[in-house]
Amino acid sequence: MDPRDRSIRDGEPELPPRRAFLARMGGLGAATLAGVVAPPLAPRGPETAEGAGIEAIGDVRRHLQAYQVRQKSALRLLRRPLLPHPDNGDESRYASRLGSYSKCLPHDDHGNVDGPAYGKLLAALASGRKADFEAIPMGGTVKLANPQSARAFDLEGFDSNELALPAPPEFSSAWEASEMAEVYWAALTRDVPFTDYETDASIAQAASDLSGFSDFRGPKEGGSVTPATLFRGDTPEDLVGPYISQFLWRDVPYGPITFAQKYRTAAAGTDYMTSFADCLARQRGGAASGTVFDPTPRYIRNGRDLAEWLHRDFSIQAGVNTALMLLSPAFGPAALDAGNPYLTSLTQGSFVTFGPPHVIDLVARVANAALRAAWYQKWLVHRRVRPEAFGARVHHQVTGVATSPIHSELLSSGALSAVFSAKGTYLLPMAYAEGCPAHPAYPAGHAAFIGACVTVLKAFFKESFVIPAPVVAGADGLSVTPYAGPDLTVGGELNKLAANVALGRDTAGVHWRSDGIEGLNLGEAVAIGVLEDLRGTYTEEFGGFSLTKFDGTTVTV
């Protein structure tokens, strides 16, 4: 007997899926089912004042319509062309795997991964079998971060394996060299308050040094990196106003309470993995000591505060906090997108659809979908090396221990002399005691989920709405004061929030700029795919979701 026909209810055999469905349809034939267009929904039963009998039994028409909604979504995805997934070639280019992620595996005393162990990782990724994952040799106690999830399926929006990213920079490229210099400078200036960027000497030195790279792709003014563009994103309005988004500074209305965004942060001047022995121990997967904390809660006022916030946040935190702010009376109905169908209704207000539960739920739902898409790219396509391991290669190159194909622009950069002057090595000073997470660099997971959350918020709120009563944190982070400057809009501050979350991980030393930029784009694509599916589930007269993408183009879903 076919296992699908096994007894499931008091000995009654389960009908095969197609026959069971036709039976539920009341005997509709296959030809009818294939070509039917269900009529509009209407209440069933006697049309009495009391509405007796409405939907008293299952509605065959509704049952069929629900099937058609799902079928239409599935067919739309099935018709999409398969996309190529290019990588940068580093994994096949270098037998030592110097350009590939290998943390948690066994490494020799120079930091080179054990070849057979890396081979077992590749075998497990290729097969997807639990037994192969369990056979991967580990170098310490830290476990790999969920590589098997790269094969998980999605039932809403795009499947995680269907979206593509451009190849990240090659290990030996001028582009990679510029990104590493930026990460060095972000580490060296973690304690500089954002309010002091225009006057701080180290910030000026960082901007000048990065301006000299031939392929640095961060934002510039007049062709040069300046204190006003340093470490910022390249999304619309990201350069307007303070470095930190209003949505990381404003009070958050949280049900019956409101909380100020003052957080525990790390102690000033505390950096980790500045000796090769410590760096090697972390690369092998050895456990690390805890963070040294500042005892005083503060508003985010410098790179160290931002990095530590992004050390402890959970995936939907920034997105849900922002949704709660935008839904609060401080913004009001005027902040809602003009396409919201309930803004013009005389008898209904939004709630389950187009209302607060809808917004909050959707912001949370797209975050994990974006992580699934990122994990596919991380583990099954790119396996890009993290900056901490690249820094060890730089250290060996400059000190003569070993050679690597590092671009000359980095080796002659002022960033190297600055980091040696500060720490006595050429290693990358890390904000986190454990260093980077136990998964590859590209794309950044934080960037993917915040990109998705922000895209949903753009769909539901008016991007041109001016932020009421904006604030700015002081240099000590103990208070916020009114901001005076150009208007800050919802769309601009959502873009800035996305950049803060994505590139703030660079400040910690765990990611590269391109990880963050492409992670945002991936998260945006994931969210648009989910919105496309949801568009077909609404019964309201609705013209679609309109929003501005991170590249400045507009789209209606």
The active-site residue out of 311, 396, 439, 511 is 439
Q: 557, 530 in Cβ contact below 8 A? A: no
| pLDDT reading at 52 higher than 70 | no
Q: Is residue 51 part of a domain?
A: no
Distance of CA 118 to the CA centre of its chain: 27
**H or E element, residue 265:** strand 263-266
- Residue-level pLDDT at 6: 32
Residue range 386-394: mean pLDDT, rounded: 98
In the DSSP assignment, the letter for residue 100 is: B
Q: Is residue 354 part of a domain?
A: yes
Number of domains the chain is built from: 2
**Residue 54 backbone phi and psi in degrees, to 5:** -60, 125
Q: Is residue 46 part of a domain?
A: no
Catalytic site includes residue 439: yes
pTM of this structure: 0.90
CB 421: neighbour CB atoms within 10 A? 9
Average pLDDT, the chain: 91
Lowest mean pLDDT across 31-45, 337-351, 393-407, 408-422: 31-45
| pLDDT reading at 57 higher than 70 | no
| pLDDT reading at 87 higher than 90 | yes
Catalytic site includes residue 107: no
Give the confidence band of 13 by pLDDT, cuts at 50, 70, 90.
very low
Residue range 124-143: mean pLDDT, rounded: 97
- Residue-level pLDDT at 5: 33
Q: 56, 45 in Cβ contact below 8 A? A: yes
In CATH, what number is assigned to the domain containing residue 253?
Answer: 1.10.606.10
Q: Is residue 224 part of a domain?
A: no
DSSP string, 346-359: SS---BTTBSHHHH
**Residue 390 backbone phi and psi in degrees, to 5:** -60, -40
* Boundaries of domain holding 302: 174-191+244-556
Query: Three-class SS of residue 211?
Result: helix
- Residue-level pLDDT at 525: 98
- Residue-level pLDDT at 301: 98
Q: How far, in Å, CA of 482 to CA of 356, rounded?
A: 28
Q: Which two tokens stand for residue 344?
A: 């013009």
Q: Is residue 371 part of a domain?
A: yes
Tell me which amino acid residue 59 is.
D
| pLDDT reading at 51 higher than 70 | no
Give the confidence band of 59 by pLDDT, cuts at 50, 70, 90.
confident
Contacts of residue 221, Cβ cutoff 8 Å, sequence gap at least 6: 228, 229
Q: How far, in Å, CA of 46 to CA of 130, rounded?
A: 57
| pLDDT reading at 15 higher than 90 | no
Q: How far, in Å, CA of 150 to CA of 379, rounded?
A: 7
Q: 448, 517 in Cβ contact below 8 A? A: no
Tens digit of each residue's pLDDT (9 = 90 or more) over 25-39: 444 443 344 444 444
Q: How far, in Å, CA of 364 to CA of 316, rounded?
A: 6
Query: Three-class SS of residue 246?
Result: helix
Please list the alpha-helical segments (H only) found in 376-489: 387-399, 408-411, 414-423, 445-460
Among 531, 554, 557, 551, CA closest to 233: 551
Q: Is residue 333 part of a domain?
A: yes
Q: What is the β-pairing status of strands 7-9 and 12-13? A: antiparallel
Tens digit of each residue's pLDDT (9 = 90 or more) over 409-468: 999 999 999 999 999 999 999 999 999 999 999 999 999 999 999 999 999 999 999 999
Q: Is residue 325 part of a domain?
A: yes
Q: Is residue 250 part of a domain?
A: yes
What percent of the chain stands above pLDDT 90?
88
Give the confidence band of 44 by pLDDT, cuts at 50, 70, 90.
very low
- Residue-level pLDDT at 101: 98
Tens digit of each residue's pLDDT (9 = 90 or more) over 206-243: 999 999 999 999 999 999 999 999 999 999 999 999 99
